[in-house]
Amino acid sequence: MSDKKNVDTVKSSTTAGESNGSNNPKKYPSGNYTIRIFGRTQEVGIGKISEEQYEFWDDPLKESDLNSAINGELDYDEHNIPESARFSQTSYDEFSEVASIYGLEMESAIVTISNASGAEIFRGDFYELFKLADPDDEWHEKYIAEVDEMYPLSFGEGYYLMYKNGGKGYFFQHELVLSEGLDLTDFRIENVDVDGERIIKSIYYRDVEINDEGVDDEYNNWRGQWSTVSVHSID
């Protein structure tokens, strides 16, 4: 996620309220605000393989060896792997020339927003955040855009390998420096449909993409949890 322009220069069309009181709980005064997002992450890649590789590895009982193979950890000779089924790649991320993404699962993401004093002014999922802008919009289509999809069958005929690595923890942190106040109704996100899971690709505030600046040490609790790999034949 990278900045398209400096969000500090973006001017709001509304006037921020003075506090999170009865006057306006959606708007806050000018200052610095930190957004953090916690949840489950996925790193996913799709790469092309040969027909021979597909035919050999298309067996659920071989998934463990396949996982080792794509990470350069399998002794092909010891396991009697045919030459035609061996991979020249030695790291899983080399199987991503067709498509790849690394991001948060939208359904698991919890957003916190704190002011410069460290006081939390919002905690909830993205649905709760967008409900502040339009309580009656069940799907929040104005704030959640699906911009792409990523399935093996999305890329036409051929043979493909797809890997997924999952983790959990704080993933995203960004400090907003706002001269004209914070409006909680000005956030939106873009998702990619990754094999049936909505993965967050980009986060915007006032139509400016905001990037991850690195999570503070006290919140740095991300850990890897699982990985899967599969092969696919698309006719």
113-165 residue pLDDT tens: 999 999 999 999 999 999 998 888 776 788 999 999 999 999 999 999 999 99
| Res 2: pLDDT | 40
Indicate the pLDDT class of residue 15, thresholds 50, 70 and 90: very low
Q: Tell whether the model's pLDDT for residue 13 goes beyond 60.
A: no
| Res 23: pLDDT | 47
Looking at residue 139, what DSSP letter applies? S
| Res 136: pLDDT | 82
For 72, list phi and psi in degrees, rounded to 5. 70, 25
Locate the domains of the chain by residue range: 28-206+222-234
| Res 4: pLDDT | 35
Cα–Cα nearest to 113, from 5, 186, 191, 208: 186
Q: Is the dihedral of CA 93, 99, 102, 104 positive or negative?
A: negative
For residue range 72-87, list pLDDT tens digits in order.
999 999 999 999 999 9
| Res 25: pLDDT | 80
Segment 90-101 mean pLDDT: 96
3-state DSSP assignment of residue 168: strand
Q: Tell whether the model's pLDDT for residue 228 goes beyond 60.
A: yes
Q: In this structure, what token pair is assigned to residue 94?
A: 């080399």
| Res 168: pLDDT | 92
For residue range 28-74, list pLDDT tens digits in order.
999 999 999 999 999 999 999 999 999 999 999 999 999 999 999 99
Q: Which residues contact 9 (CB under 8 A, 6 or more apart)?
A: none
For residue range 188-212, list pLDDT tens digits in order.
999 999 999 999 999 999 999 999 9
Q: Tell whether the model's pLDDT for residue 226 goes beyond 60.
A: yes
Q: In this structure, what token pair is assigned to residue 223?
A: 């850990």
The HSE-up count of residue 85 (CA atoms within 13 Å, CB side) is 19
For residue range 172-191, list pLDDT tens digits in order.
999 999 999 999 999 999 99
Cα–Cα–Cα angle for 19, 38, 94, nearest 5°? 140
